[in-house]
Chain A
Amino acid sequence: MRLSREQLVTAGAVAGVLAVTLALVLLLGVSAAAYFAVAGILLALGGSMLYTWWEGRSDTSMHGMKLRLLERIKERIQRLEAELKQAEELVKTQALQEELAQVRAGLIKAGLFTVVFEVNERQLRRLTLTATELGVRRAEQKLRSTEAVALAEHSEAVERRGRSMLEDARRLKQAGFRVGVELEELERILGATPHSLSESLNRWERLKDAYVRLLKRCVDEVEYLIDAASAGGRKVGQLEERLQVLRRHLNTPEAVDELVALRSEVGAMLARPFTKLRGQLLEHLESLGRLVRSGGERVGGLRRRVEELREPAMLGELTALREECITLTSELLENMLREIEGMHEELEGFGIKRRWRRAPLPESYRSFADFSRRALRLMERLAGEYDASYAQLKVASSYPAVERLITQKLQEKGEVSAEELGVRYALEFMKRYVSMHPEAELVGEGEAARVRRR
């Protein structure tokens, strides 16, 4: 007969106690042995209680492990069931759900779960860990194969639907909608490969979100264009109604067609006024750039910004630039006037008074074309006066030095030409010289003019 561990431990303990008691009696007397006996009994009681507790704990750990295994498989089954339900939006999952039901049934039949699919604790205690693991493993295998089939079907469906969305997005972009960013997002989502059913489901949700955002952006764009057309005096009532309808039925297959059609119609409304205004602005800025004497870089900058606007849909932006153009032109006219008046003041310091009447700036105008005409006419007049004043000022301030030069050259050679003088405004200098030096005269004209001694 083979003794259990407990039996062997007990036998050993009893023998040991008896031996020690005998030794104590022989060596120390009965009272010592009595004390030892009491202590020994108490120790034995405590030890056996401790042993019993420890033994019970091991049993609990094992049970706990089995429980955890079953909880996990239950969670997986429930999750997969939920995902399959979600996947029904795109694929038929009836067969797969039935397979799942079979897995449940198998686990119940194995005694691991009750009929209400709770863990069968009573039965579990009788089962070994190994048996439990075996049952769970079989169930997991089934789950894996079910999920794989679901993933394959679902991701294929997502791919199909996603391609269709992408095609719509490209069509909308071609029609002129600014959906480049949204299109890229769709491409990015479609480019990722899902590795689980939940990833595939998530991918589908993101595709839907991105697509809806794209469509809403297109709707907003159409609304903006309709507003621009309305601001331009066009009748847009019908278009507005169509847009309201479209907002309510954005999910329909016809939504994209309607968006394209609406954009095209509004764009056609905007094309002519856009082209006309753009042309007017560019012509005005080109002329202005030629006439201004300072601030030309601002004119050039504004002109570049106008040139960058090429789409009739940008009529709103173009209109804003028109206002900017009017403001800039007015500023430049004011600046030019101030500079001319400044030069006139300086000329008075040289005893020169120019005849000049300050012209009023254009304050009211019927249209941009009207403003442009009046402003450019005034700018041309100012530019002429600016150049004349500038030249006169340069001549006045440099005259003493040039006068000496002319005098010196007359002394050396008796005459001097404009070219020999080596100065700008040579003719003006020479004219002034002869007006102040009666001993000299101006002969010839233009580039051939020269001063000589009489």
Chain B
Amino acid sequence: MSTRWGIVASGQGANRIGFLYYARYRNPAIDDRVLLLNTTPADVTPEKPLEKLFEADPELRELYDSIKRKRVCIFGRAPSGAGNNWAVGEREAMDDFHTIRRYIANLNLRPQDVLLGIATLGGGTGNGSLPYIIHRMRTEPGVGMERMNNFLALGILPYDFEAPQRHFNAVCGMTRLLRYAGRQNAALVILVDNSQVERVLELSGDGERYMRINSEIIRCIHMLIAPSIYTSSATIDIADYYQLPSSLGITHFTPCMSWGNDPEVMSVEAMLESASASPLVPLERGRAMMAYVILTVPESTVTEGRLTQEMLEEEVKSWAERHLAGGAGGLVRYASLVAVPGKQDVDVLILLGGFSLRRLMEKLDEKYHQFKECLTSEEGAIERGKVEELEAELKRYIAETERRIEALESQDTRLERWGFGDV
């Protein structure tokens, strides 16, 4: 039985992305299993975050109305919503978890299926609730529900220009997605930086850019699920995505994408180079440990033997030796060639994992600290003690990541370890 996917999109920003994905891609692997979570002030309707989408395309409103009853969940009791405070968002989720759980149960997912949680990490609702929801679903989902291990998370980082509290929220949210209550949380955390997406797409400051950025993100989601929908020579199954990273304890990834490549012009090598030049978070080149490569190609390319799984793996190996840490092709590497009927061009998704978080922290650090210095111990505010704990957790995680990268980079063959004499 093939793996099914469900999407839980928490918070305004995630609601837009989740709903847009559902509207654009009628994905048989997902079907209608898209759940939009939000806290919302009493005077604001749940569809408010989606108004701009409805203005651009009125048919989307009809679609929304058709799913509203069973797929839009308003949780929490606070009359003013999360107020950009992740601690409030978390508490709302804790207090009203049974409501959330009921909606998740209605997605009718089996233990072997996948739940992809989406949250914009600069806000309060999604950022606050999603890590908690993942933690609960993995540890103690409650009566009548089975634990779910296949919980992936897509965390969207704020724009560079956004206010310090959003950067602060992002660091806390990212940390909690990676680690929660002292243990690994989401099986895989995919990070996307809005500003980096803007740079990659070379967008100027026009009104359509948010739509284009969201479109880019949902394309990434679709590529992630592609091997489950179409014929692929080697399927990257859900277990392949997270099991090895989980056992390494390094679970952060970012997409690198290249769309619409003309197979008559671009070689596979060139397409991989093009994709890897466009990661969706800032990162140092050559300092990543893992890569999942998905190529969606015209069906005829595969049936006519112009590109095979073996050829792809050869190219990916060659690319990985140049671009992953250590020069030996990285620690974990998978490639999947997906033949899509009716497709004319080639899309490439490289999920780059276990990369150094240095450049990302460079982006977030200053504003994080600016806001952290302003934290008070007033009621409703975020506890400093909690923040310190999170910071420590993130430092440990970063240190482990760096250690592993350095170990890869300095790796040499020591056959003496196996009992061989001097070589």
Contact = CB atoms under 8 A, between A and B. Distances in A.
A424 B264 contact: yes
A181 to B, nearest CB: 44
A360 B82 CA distance: 73
Contacts of B278: 404
A404 B278 CA distance: 9
A351 interface: no
B274 A401 contact: yes
A64 B269 CA distance: 107
A297 to B, nearest CB: 15
Nearest to B258: A401
A421 B264 contact: no
A405 B271 CA distance: 9
Contacts of B277: 404-405, 408
Contacts of B273: 405, 408-409, 422
Interface string A405-421: 10011000000000001
B415 interface: no
Contacts, number: 42
A265 to B, nearest CB: 54
Contact of A401 (B264, B266, B267, B269): B266
A347 to B, nearest CB: 15
Contacts of A402: 265-266, 270
Contacts of A404: 274, 277-278
B274 A405 contact: yes
Given A422-B267, A423-B267, A394 B262 contact: yes
Interface in A375-416: 394-395, 397-398, 401-402, 404-405, 408-409
Contacts of B258: 401
Contacts of A424: 264-267
B261 interface: yes
A72 B344 CA distance: 88
B265 A394 contact: yes
Nearest to B261: A401
Interface string A339-382: 00000000000000000000000000000000000000000000
Interface in B242-269: 258, 260-262, 264-267, 269
Given A404-B277, A408-B277, A397 B270 contact: no
Interface residues of B, number: 14
Contacts of A408: 273, 277
Interface in B209-268: 258, 260-262, 264-267
Nearest to B266: A423
A54 interface: no
Given A408-B273, A408-B277, A398 B267 contact: no
A401 B273 CA distance: 10
Nearest to B277: A408
A425 interface: yes
Nearest to A407: B277
Contacts of B260: 401
A224 B258 CA distance: 67
A272 B274 CA distance: 63
Contacts of A395: 265
A398 B267 CA distance: 12
A278 B60 CA distance: 65
B262 A421 contact: no
Given A404-B274, A408-B277, A398 B269 contact: no
A153 B57 CA distance: 100
B332 to A, nearest CB: 24
Interface string B51-69: 0000000000000000000
Contacts of B265: 394-395, 398, 402, 423-425
A54 B43 CA distance: 124
Interface in A415-454: 421-425
Contacts of A405: 270, 273-274, 277
A308 B273 CA distance: 52
A422 B275 CA distance: 14
Contacts of B270: 402, 405, 421-423
Contact of B269 (A394, A397, A422, A425): A422
Given A405-B273, A405-B274, A405-B277, A422 B262 contact: no
Nearest to B265: A398
Tell which of B258, B262, B264, B267 has the most Cβ of chain A within 10 Å: B262
B200 to A, nearest CB: 9
Contacts of A401: 258, 260-261, 266, 274
Given A404-B274, A405-B274, A408-B273, A397 B266 contact: no
Contacts of B267: 422-424
Nearest to A394: B265
Nearest to B267: A422
A10 B325 CA distance: 138
B262 A397 contact: yes
Interface in A57-88: none
Nearest to B263: A424
Contacts of B269: 422
A139 B264 CA distance: 96
Interface string B115-157: 0000000000000000000000000000000000000000000
B242 to A, nearest CB: 30
Contacts of A423: 265-267, 270
A425 B265 CA distance: 7
Nearest to A425: B265
B170 to A, nearest CB: 27
Interface of A: 394-395, 397-398, 401-402, 404-405, 408-409, 421-425
Given A394-B265, A398-B262, A405-B274, 12 more contacts: A397-B262, A398-B266, A401-B258, A401-B260, A401-B274, A402-B270, A404-B278, A408-B273, A409-B273, A422-B267, A422-B270, A423-B266
Nearest first, the 7 closest Cβ-Cβ pairs linking A and B are A422-B270, A422-B267, A422-B269, A398-B265, A408-B277, A424-B265, A398-B262
22 contacts: A394-B262, A397-B262, A398-B265, A401-B258, A401-B260, A402-B266, A402-B270, A404-B277, A404-B278, A405-B270, A408-B277, A409-B273, A421-B270, A422-B267, A422-B270, A423-B265, A423-B266, A423-B267, A423-B270, A424-B265, A424-B266, A424-B267
